[in-house]
Chains A and B, each alone.
Chain A
């Protein structure tokens, strides 16, 4: 069973990797997104002379991490899932000797695997652009990775909820945007959580995204 899940994940990654343009475009996307965030903060910094108590270097590092994490936390299979419900490809998934849930967990793993690859690539490039020197301890790195791995099931459940909405609605896009916005805000991808109104940061403690 574990074998099947990993094979599915591998298939998914292969499917993405067959077109080089996928990788290049996704990576550029991430770089541009990161660039925009950092420029906004630079503008704030230049105007007001501070960035809510963060140093400029801290802000840049924060967003380099965001660039790495965005694909891992916001990518997923909900679109694929609802398309397959709508165009009937779901029959293939229902005929597999593996539960629907596990089947998609495999695909989701593949998506996130590829996302991690894109994220890390974009992260490394931005380190060069912004001349960030990373010196983190091994312990920090490992706990960072562990936290990211723990997040995978959580985001997967969210993906499942939005994806299976395909049974009821044909506008997944709206749901998808909603899901993304929630994840963006509560996981601090847009801005550090400490900068939000207290209610939001409090809520985010209970929402484990």
Chain B
């Protein structure tokens, strides 16, 4: 059964429009004009317990807005959200007991106090039993390497250290669902790695449902099984990661090591089926689509002009696919 359900979810923001110049601003004082902006435009999805979902899209696509509606911080303009049997914005407090959330640029830790104090508060607020709290704390400390951080004031931590503590704080009460809005923003590769491993680990052990938004495609590659891609408030893809690649990643890149090349290949071959992206005397890089041709055909064409020694093929990566999709707009 789905643990999260969104039906026709819409969020409109009311934005103020102002005329130019100081007069325009003053005019606005007496007669404000508003404009509606649809940030999330009728999205539907179901997420099952234990799924690791990557929620991706360009800047301003409406990811954070969706997450805020799922957590109950924002009320949808229309449509329905049901999380674990509850409507989040109606029973926010009840819902909060089951969830955890990280908003990348903000912190839930107490700025001036040592990290451990925030953990203790969480223990108290969520009524985490002593034993469970100890067990989790010990485990998280090991996994996220928090040993030296717990007694430090939050304001003295580096970004990466803070995020590790933040993540620990979010999972401390064994939430059923965790929303992570850009948890890896601004972190170095090792910390990112560490956080990804942690998320996967907890998901496996406790069957926690995780929804992750990120701009780092590697997060998705490594953590998520499913991708929901949103563009201008509408879902344009929802499905397994592999299916996403199959659907969009039809382009294949190949590198050929060649010998005895005669002249400029790009000029001679004018095939519609593949494009040469780079060439030198020993190396030709090219791109072709699965649908149009096969590597054998490409080879045949190429070998008219040179001798092919070796081939190197590469399926397009998530990053390239996203780039193409975003460019098309």
Contact = CB atoms under 8 A, between A and B. Distances in A.
B93 A8 contact: no
B120 to A, nearest CB: 7
Contacts of A7: 120-121, 124-125
A108 to B, nearest CB: 16
Interface in B98-117: 99, 101, 103, 106-108, 110, 112-113, 117
Interface in A77-106: 88-89, 91-92, 94-99
Given A7-B120, A7-B121, A15 B112 contact: yes
Interface string A104-140: 0000000000000000000000000000000000000
A14 interface: yes
Interface string A1-40: 0011001100100110011000000000000000000000
Contacts of A4: 124-125
A97 B126 contact: yes
Interface string B68-98: 1001110000000000000000001100110
Interface residues of A, number: 19
Nearest to B96: A97
Given A7-B124, A97-B125, A88 B93 contact: no
A89 B92 CA distance: 17
Contacts of A11: 110, 113, 117, 121
B108 A95 contact: yes
Contacts of A89: 106
Nearest to A92: B108
A97 B97 contact: yes
Contacts of B93: 97-99
Contacts of B126: 97
Contacts of B124: 3-4, 7
Interface string B43-74: 00000000000000000000000001001110
A111 to B, nearest CB: 14
Contacts of B72: 94
A4 B153 CA distance: 22
B170 to A, nearest CB: 10
B175 to A, nearest CB: 10
B103 A91 contact: yes
A205 to B, nearest CB: 38
Contacts of B125: 4, 7, 96-98
Nearest to A94: B73
Contacts of A15: 110, 112-113
Interface in B196-255: none
Contact of A91 (B106, B113, B117, B121): B106
Contact of A95 (B101, B110, B117): B101
B126 to A, nearest CB: 6
Contacts of B153: 18
Contacts of B101: 91, 95
Nearest to B126: A97
Interface in B148-168: 153
A22 to B, nearest CB: 10
Nearest to A6: B124
A176 B96 CA distance: 32
Given A4-B124, A7-B120, A95 B106 contact: no
A91 B120 contact: no
B121 A8 contact: yes
A54 B25 CA distance: 55
B94 to A, nearest CB: 8
B282 to A, nearest CB: 55
Contacts of A91: 68, 73, 101, 103, 106
A88 B113 contact: no
13 contacts: A4-B124, A11-B110, A11-B117, A14-B117, A18-B112, A18-B153, A91-B73, A92-B107, A94-B72, A95-B73, A97-B93, A97-B126, A99-B93
Interface of A: 3-4, 7-8, 11, 14-15, 18-19, 88-89, 91-92, 94-99
Given A15-B112, A91-B73, A91-B106, 14 more contacts: A3-B124, A4-B124, A4-B125, A7-B120, A7-B124, A7-B125, A15-B110, A15-B113, A18-B153, A19-B112, A92-B107, A94-B72, A95-B108, A96-B96
Closest 9 CB pairs of A and B: A7-B124, A92-B108, A97-B96, A97-B97, A4-B125, A15-B112, A94-B73, A18-B112, A4-B124
